[in-house]
């Protein structure tokens, strides 16, 4: 048929119909499937990147939250993720090293869980590349949940409510390990802490006391020099450093992963947000108080082969009593009490 014989509106109609088809195609997919969530990240934070194969959905996040608190994932039904990542401690563990199912002790302090959507790698030594991959490990780690995945999946599949929840989140009847870890990762991505007094201050909406300001000034100076590692609005660079805890590291840290001896005793810089709630401190929980941590940076840094240059010079450290008091007070302005709540 010749184009010129079609009345113009019919040509138009075809296009409109085509468009409607495309749009309704998206529409019906949205109605049946899980509900997408557009995560709002804080304005002053850097951009967060999301994995393309695990978009956030209401159903996925809710399922992840339920799994996080469920001891069903452990061998004896007694340990959940939250046993070592307690919400009121900003999802960290108040014990120096964690104790897993059947009383087995780990060798590192459990890290807090928040703002991890910005972390390019996970664990103290960065051995895991994503939240999805990370979530595989606690379940089968003998010092954590000590279970094996086929049994976890069987328990979930035979559970009265889980199959329906997985179907709502992932639109399949068979529950897989991939879905469990995706749901956990979705929930963890929503754990964002950004409402501390320091945020009001940096946004020009609040004040610091004179003591806190003294700590702030030192933290962001080259003599204190905390900000080069604990920087950005995340208060971490998420990179690996040796901060001089031991002359000869008893835990090789990053070197265990890279195989490079120059990386011995390097650990991923922790965020200092909520640090008031995450004692004890460092990868081995060696310091019980913030005062002890500040004393380390003041006079305790050990000379070691690969001590970070930022800590390896005479212009820093040896803080006065007022400066130490200021640093501790400043660190407490990074607390987000509404985040560190029992759930």
Partner 1 sequence: MSRISRIGASILWVIVFVPASLLLSGCDTSDATDDQVTLSLSFLHFVSGEALHNSVGEGLAFNDFRFANAAGNQYEITHMEYIVTEVALVTAQGERVLLTDAHYVNLTQPETLSSPLFTVPFDDYVGISLTFGVAGEENVFGSLPRTTSYEGMLWPAMMGGGTERYHYMRLEGNFVVEEGTRGFLVHTGPTGGTDFSIPFTAPLEIDDSARAPDAFVTINLSMDVNTWFDGPEVYDFQTVEGGIMGNPQAQERLHANGSSMYIVDSSYGIFD
> What positions carry a catalytic annotation?
144
Q: Residue 7 or 103: which CB sits closer to partner 1?
A: 7
What is residue 299's DSSP assignment?
Answer: I
To ligand HEC, the closest distance from the beta carbon of 139 in angstroms equals 6
Burial of 200 (0-12, 13-18, 19+ CB in 10 A): middle
92 is written with which tokens? 């960290």
To ligand HEC, the closest distance from the beta carbon of 204 in angstroms equals 24
Interface of this chain with ligand HEC, residues 89 to 128, rule: CB under 6 A: 98, 100, 106, 108, 110-111, 113, 116, 119, 122-124
Directed axis angle between helix 149-157 and helix 177-189, to 10°?
A: 80
Interface residue with ligand HEC among 283, 324, 326, 334 (CB under 6 A) is 283
To ligand HEC, the closest distance from the beta carbon of 18 in angstroms equals 45
* Partner from ligand HEC, partner 1, none contacting 260, C-beta within 5 to 8 A by type: partner 1
Q: Residue 234 or 294: which CB sits closer to partner 1?
A: 234
Directed axis angle between helix 162-170 and helix 177-189, to 10°?
A: 70
Interface residue with ligand HEC among 272, 301, 329, 340 (CB under 6 A) is 272
What is the chain's Cα-based Rg?
Answer: 25
Stretch 128-167: interaction string toward ligand HEC, x if CB under 6 A: ---x--xx--xx----xx----------------------
* Partner from partner 1, ligand HEC, none contacting 81, C-beta within 5 to 8 A by type: ligand HEC
Q: How many angstroms separate the CA atoms of 37 and 67, rounded?
A: 19
Write out the residues near partner 1 by the rule CB under 8 A: 3-4, 6-9, 11-12, 14-15, 18, 46-47, 118, 120, 217, 220-223, 225, 227-228, 231-234, 237-238, 260, 262, 303, 306-316
174 is written with which tokens? 């068979």
Q: Which residues contact 109 (CB under 8 A, 6 or more apart)?
A: 92, 93, 96, 97, 98, 280, 281, 282, 283, 284, 285
Q: Per rule CB under 6 A, is residue 228 in the interface with ligand HEC?
A: yes
Of the chain, the end-to-end C-alpha distance in Å amounts to: 68
Q: How many angstroms separate the CA atoms of 282 and 268, rounded?
A: 10
Q: Residue 197 or 283: which CB sits closer to ligand HEC?
A: 283
Q: Per rule CB under 6 A, is residue 328 in the interface with ligand HEC?
A: no
Q: Per rule CB under 6 A, is residue 243 in the interface with ligand HEC?
A: yes
Among candidate residues 79, 58, 215, 207, the one with its CA nearest the CA of residue 139: 79
* Partner from ligand HEC, partner 1, none contacting 180, C-beta within 5 to 8 A by type: none
Q: Residue 98 or 335: which CB sits closer to ligand HEC?
A: 98
Interface segment toward ligand HEC; rule CB under 6 A; list 27-35, 52-60, 78-86, 153-161: 78-86
Q: Which residues contact 2 (CB under 8 A, 6 or more apart)?
A: none
Q: Is the peptide bond before 53 cis (omega within 30 degrees of 0)?
A: no
Q: Per rule CB under 6 A, is residue 229 in the interface with ligand HEC?
A: yes
Q: Per rule CB under 6 A, is residue 183 in the interface with ligand HEC?
A: no
Q: Residue 63 or 245: which CB sits closer to partner 1?
A: 245
Directed axis angle between helix 58-68 and helix 177-189, to 10°?
A: 100
Q: Partners of 36 in the beta sheet?
A: 57
């Amino acid at each position: 048929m010749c184009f010129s014989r079609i009345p113009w509106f019919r040509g138009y109609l075809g296009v409109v119909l085509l468009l409607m088809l495309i749009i309704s195609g998206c529409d019906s997919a949205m109605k049946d499937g899980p509900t997408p969530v557009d995560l709002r990240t804080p304005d002053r934070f850097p951009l967060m990147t999301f994995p393309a194969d695990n978009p956030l959905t209401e159903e996925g996040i809710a399922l992840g939250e339920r799994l996080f608190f469920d001891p069903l994932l452990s061998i004896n039904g007694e340990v959940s993720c939250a046993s070592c990542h307690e919400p009121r401690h900003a999802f960290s563990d108040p014990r120096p090293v964690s104790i897993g199912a059947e009383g087995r002790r780990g060798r590192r302090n459990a890290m807090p869980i928040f703002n991890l959507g910005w972390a390019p790698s996970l664990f103290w030594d960065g051995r895991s590349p994503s939240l999805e991959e990370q979530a595989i490990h606690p379940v089968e780690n003998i010092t954590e949940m000590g279970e094996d995945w086929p049994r976890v999946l069987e328990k979930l599949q035979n559970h009265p409510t889980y199959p329906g929840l997985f179907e709502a989140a992932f639109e399949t009847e068979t529950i897989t390990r991939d879905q469990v870890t995706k749901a956990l990762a979705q929930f963890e991505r929503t754990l964002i802490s950004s409402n501390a007094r320091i945020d009001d201050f940096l946004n020009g909406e609040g004040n610091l006391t004179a003591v806190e300001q003294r700590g702030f000034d030192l933290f962001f100076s080259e003599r204190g020099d905390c900000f080069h590692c604990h920087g950005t609005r995340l208060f971490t660079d998420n990179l690996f450093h040796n901060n001089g805890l031991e002359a000869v590291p008893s835990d090789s840290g990053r070197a265990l992963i890279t195989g490079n001896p120059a990386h011995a005793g390097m650990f991923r810089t922790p965020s200092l947000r909520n640090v008031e709630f995450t004692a004890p401190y460092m990868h081995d929980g060696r310091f019980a108080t913030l005062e002890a941590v500040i004393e380390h940076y003041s006079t305790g840094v050990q000379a070691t082969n690969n001590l970070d240059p930022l800590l390896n010079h005479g212009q820093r450290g040896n803080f006065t009593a007022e400066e130490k008091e200021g640093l501790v007070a400043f660190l407490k302005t990074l607390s987000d009490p509404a985040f560190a709540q029992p759930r």
